[in-house]
Structure 1
Amino acid sequence: MTTARRLDGYTLDDWEAVDPVEGHRVELVGGQFRVSAAPSVPHQRIADRLQNLLDDAVADDGMEAVTAVGVRVAPGIGYIPDVVVCTELVDTTTVDVGLVALVVEVVSPSTAKADRLEKPSAFAAAGVPAYWRVETGREGGPVVYCYRLDRGTYVETATLTPGTTATVDVAGTASITLDPASLIGPRRRRS
């Protein structure tokens, strides 16, 4: 990182100016940088597969799903969610939270507290319409918890469990049909 320590905390501009650190994610939380290890292959496989499904589902609505993009949430807060569905993408390093329709976090041991408590609270306060949390390490595959914003708080709308196929709303205009078990394991070859 090339940004010098500031006594009053770092800003979103400081965060965007940080040189990338290979193998790490740098987020801005309360004016302080938080560095975490890059995701594992199973973690990223889940995020990438969800991104593909979500991107296909929202394409007709002019939206786009992307992985690991920085989101400017509030002054002193910039997160890098695993997947975001944006109503519009501009060619910048980060996107404004007002353009985000859905945030998906794949929980890792090092990010569990933030993904379960801190980030949903911050994204709800910023008005992001939907938040999904993917819990890994379950028998048969991950569990996907889907939340919609209701009067400033996320309310659970669906719980997708491995081995069961369900259809879930995405960003209010589209839906996907998913068995969370399909998000893990090696890709199946087509015959």
Structure 2
Amino acid sequence: MHIIVGLGNPGRKYDGTRHNIGFDAIDLLAHRHDIKVNKLKHKALYGEGFWGGKKVLLAKPQTFMNLSGESLRDMMEFYKVDTKNLVVIYDDIDIEVGSLRIRQKGSAGSHNGMKSIIYQLQSDAFPRVRIGIGKPKFGDLADYVLGRFPKEEINLMREVVEKAVEAVETIVEEGIDLAMNRYNKT
């Protein structure tokens, strides 16, 4: 079984914000694989299905970003899934807008949701798909990540979410190494 988690904040007021790009990726995965993400358990909205002959759980933690690890720890313990079969999709200010980076493991960087997950799982050894949202040129970082994309970035972000979804599909079906080789472009 694979657990695919997109990070974001619950509530309509956060829909379409930079920080909710992980939720957007889960929504697209759910649509592509006909999985309804409408059950509430483990402090998350989730849905289960199959693709590539493998059972997959898609989840959107409802704990708010900074406590995402609580939800994820509950899921991992309940389903007894190894961290190598976990994939976390999230926004990253340290990556250029519209870029994608896939890693097998690593630090949380400046991302509080990832800090929570690493702390709760006591491990950083799990695949992650990082979607670049860039840094603000000026102003408050919290306002930036909780803000919406400007019109000129919307199509670019749709494209990168599509690539992120394809990368997750590759991870589940063919493995992380192939996904990194295919999607980590310089």
- TM, length-normalised to structure 2: 0.38
Higher strand share: 1
Higher helix share: 2
Larger Rg: 1
